[in-house]
Amino acid sequence: METPALPVPEARSAIPPALRGILPVLVALPVLALFQWVTNESPFAVYLLSVMGVNIILAVSLNIVNGMTGQFSIGHAGFMAVGAYISGVMSLNLKEVALSFLPVAASDQVLFTLALLVGGLAAAACGFLVGLPSLRLRGDYLAIVTLGFGEIIRVVVQNTDAFGRALGLSGIPQYSSPYMIYFWVFLTVLVARRIAGSSHGRSLWAIREDEVAAEAMGVDTTGYKVRSFVISSFFAGIAGGLFAHFVPIINPGSFTFVKSMEIVVMVVLGGLGSTTGAIVAAIFLTLLPEGLRSAFNLLGTESTLAQKVDQIRMPIYGLLLVVLMLSRPQGLFGTRELWDVLPRWIPRRRRGLS
Amino acid sequence: MSAAVQANQDSRAPLLQADGVSIQFGGLKALTDFSLTVRQGDLLGLIGPNGAGKSTAFNVLTGVYQPSQGEVRVAGQRVNGRKPHQINHLGLARTFQNIRLFRALTALDNVKVACRAQGALHPTGMGVSAKLSNALVNYRDWWRALMLTPHFQAEERELTRQAEHLLEVMGLSHRRDEEARNLPYGEQRRLEIARALGTRPRVLLLDEPAAGMNTREKADLMVLIRKLRDDFKLGVLVIEHDMKLVMGICEHITVLDHGETISRGAPAEVRGDRKVIEAYLGDSYLESHGGAA
Ligand SMILES: Nc1ncnc2c1ncn2[C@@H]1O[C@H](COP(=O)(O)OP(=O)(O)OP(=O)(O)O)[C@@H](O)[C@H]1O
Ligand SMILES: [Mg+2]
């Protein structure tokens, strides 16, 4: 049973309207700095947190399309690849460049941010080109086209010298830090939540619920679908860029259909439409293989077995999806957010989209 | 006011015009040479036996289907080939025969979707400059939402206020925060009307708004529809199966059968029309009375 909405006064009403927009950023920056300082000691923790952060960005951004808008994209890794390669190549070429008026470290981070943005925008542009024709049509065209897009990217990379062909691209400066990655996690989540709570988000939900009715009520369904897809692609590109700057090498193998499916599973597992659900699922699915791998290593089994864990990921995801569809088709949280499913005694927000 | 409007019928500009509209599905002529004019203050009826083409007529008028012949004009503009949302922006809103609410959204959000959608956009946006200005308005709006600007917050409050008002008009205030799918049937139908009103239409098309209601609810609804027409200065076109009801409130009735307009006129004229009686006796009358198999 649905609990009736409590007469909660407007959330955050004590904060002046002009401050509400910027406040989360002001809070996040020092928290992230602390976070960076705490985690800096252990390289493994940094690596794991980085992978997790990238996965959260991917899942939360895909959720905008697959969850909120009700479309079905299965090529998110393709957009990630675009961001990774574009920003990676850019950083490689700007390695020796430094902005003379800044300290070296700061200059690196500025150039890194620039590379990320260029990668994100390139991915967004691809999103526009892929989305515009396929989102006009109803149904499963988007799935087919995004699937094809991922493959095209792979083939292009494998045949381009500048992208290192099948061997991959190594030597990209390792600019990524938990601080930078989680700043983007924060931005992605902020954008997703603010979309969900705005009239744009309501239009996306309406499209998900009933496209014909949404169109009849004056919602430019194609326009909204394309815009949500472009935003989603942008953040996938950012995630790719962040990824490229902390792994030793990127190659087409990092952005295969398996990766795309992994992200889809995260979104479905968390509950299509739930941002916090996507976050929780991304964390879980990042830790699961790592946990298994560490467990095998601890048990002293030879490393080949640990590698096998990687190889059986796909069947595990498939199985997970099947079990999920059978037992809880709406995902862990459904369309609700974490605070909607918390125990009753915790004060909750008013039900609704915002 | 209504009487005054009646007196100078022709001076009221037509808000919705269908002119010789036809559409086929494969070999089936679902609608043939359909013509109709709706002006402000009109309360028109569209009736006919099952499968007569009434809903199809609505779909053609609202741009869901493209007519193969004829012309549809909304607010004086030819709308053939335009998308439903563009036609809606010109002032045409509708409800659906098989309720199509945004089921997982609250009643309030259902209406807010509609209130928003007609926003600040250039309604007649066909040219390049209109498209460009629409795009700019769009990006500005997204930016405002992402930045949570004071302007955005004020706009959001205003939307809530409008939607709450419409819920109140339709007697749904107590359902404000309930998911649409959890509402009883009759309230879902009313919520659909509230949602349609959210787009600030000048013409409202209602596809069997009283279906599934009991006699009393039906009578109440009809009174409400008349009130909406007056308060919101609408033209209303209603599809309704219950003859008595339609005859009771509509000033002018169009009768369809097999896609053809077989009769039109005041309720009294239509009721006496031999073709109408045949159509109804031949089809649904016998069916509903268990006559012919
Ligand atoms: N999309 C479609 N494709 C093919 N045939 C259709 C389509 N839509 C409607 N039809 C057919 O057109 C005819 C008219 O249908 P319509 O829904 O307009 O009838 P109606 O007058 O609304 O009937 P009812 O009172 O049952 O709602 C029917 O024979 C129907 O099967
Ligand atoms: Mg019908």
Q: What percent of chain B has pLDDT over 90?
A: 60
Ligand 2 (ion): which residues have CB within 5 A?
A: B 55, 97
All residues of chain B having their beta carbon less than 8 Å from the beta carbon of residue A2 are 178-179, 182
CB contact under 8 A, A200 and B142: yes
Residue B130 neighbours by CB under 8 Å, 6+ apart:
B122, B124
Residue A102 neighbours by CB under 8 Å, 6+ apart:
A110
ipTM of the complex: 0.88
- Interchain CB contact of A21 with B (< 8 Å): yes
Tokens 């100078």 found at: B8
All residues of chain A having their beta carbon less than 8 Å from the beta carbon of residue B206 are none
Residue B290 neighbours by CB under 8 Å, 6+ apart:
none
Predicted pLDDT at B213: 85
Name which residue leads in pLDDT, A234 or B268: A234
CA distances from A279 to A71, A198, B2 (A): 19, 20, 58
What three-state secondary structure class fits B73?
Answer: strand
From edge to edge, which strands make up the β-sheet containing B28-39?
Answer: B28-39, B14-25, B69-74, B77-78
Q: Are B98 and B55 contacting, i.e. CB atoms less than 8 angstroms apart? A: no
Kindly give the interhelix angle for A141-158 and A76-93, rounded to the nearest 10 degrees: 30
CA distances from A245 to A171, A258, A329, B13 (A): 9, 21, 36, 65
Q: Which among B194, B107, B122, B115 is positioned nearest to B156, based on CA atoms?
A: B115
CB contact under 8 A, B64 and A212: yes
Q: Which ligand is nearest to the CA of B66?
A: 1
* Single pTM value for the model: 0.88
Residue A249 neighbours by CB under 8 Å, 6+ apart:
A168, A169, A170
Q: Are A82 and A271 contacting, i.e. CB atoms less than 8 angstroms apart? A: no
Give pLDDT tens digits for A24-75.
888 888 887 777 777 777 788 888 889 999 999 999 999 999 999 999 899 9
Average pLDDT, chain B: 86
How far is the first Cα of chain B from the last one, in angstroms, to the nearest whole number? 49
| Bridge partners (DSSP) listed for residue B43 | B236
What amino acid occupies position A35?
A: F
Q: Which of A5, A198, A220 sits opposite B85 (nearest CB)?
A: A220
Q: What gap in Å lies between CA B212 and CA B208, rounded to an integer?
A: 9
Q: Which of A18, A199, A219 sits opposite B159 (nearest CB)?
A: A199
Q: What is the DSSP string of A205-235?
A: HHHHH-HHHHHHTT--HHHHHHHHHHHHHHH
Q: Which among A341, A332, A234 is positioned nearest to A283, based on CA atoms?
A: A332
Q: Please give the backbone phi and psi of residue A235, each rounded to the nearest 5 degrees, phi first.
A: -70, -30
- The residue nearest atom 30 of ligand 1, judged by CA position, is B51
**The residue count for chain B:** 293
Q: Are A33 and A179 contacting, i.e. CB atoms less than 8 angstroms apart? A: yes
Residue B288 neighbours by CB under 8 Å, 6+ apart:
none
In B83-208, DSSP assigns E strands to 92-94, 203-207
All residues of chain B having their beta carbon less than 8 Å from the beta carbon of residue A17 are 150, 153-154
Query: Which structural domains are found in chain B, ordered by start?
Result: 3-289 (3.40.50.300)
Residue B104, pLDDT > 70, answer yes
Residues B211-238, mean pLDDT to the nearest whole number: 91
Q: What percent of chain A has pLDDT over 70?
A: 86
Q: Which of A20, A194, A205 sits opposite B145 (nearest CB)?
A: A194
All residues of chain B having their beta carbon less than 8 Å from the beta carbon of residue A214 are 102, 113
CB contact under 8 A, A216 and B149: no
Degrees to nearest 5, angle at CA B87 with B85 and B91: 105
Residue B80, pLDDT > 90, answer yes
Would you state the structure tokens that stand for residue A26, as one six-digit string?
A: 């002001």
CA distances from A55 to A50, A252, A266, A316 (A): 9, 17, 9, 18
CB contact under 8 A, B102 and A210: yes
Is A32-341 CATH 1.10.3210? no
All residues of chain B having their beta carbon less than 8 Å from the beta carbon of residue A219 are 85, 113, 117
Atom of ligand 1 nearest to the CA of B54: 21
Residue B78, pLDDT > 50, answer yes
- The residue nearest atom 25 of ligand 1, judged by CA position, is B50
Pocket of ligand 1, beta carbon within 6 A? B 25, 28, 30, 48, 50-56, 97
Q: Which of A4, A20, A218 sits opposite B117 (nearest CB)?
A: A218
Cβ atoms within 10 Å of B124's Cβ, excluding its own: 13
Domain boundaries defined on chain A: 32-341
Predicted pLDDT at A35: 77
Predicted pLDDT at A217: 95
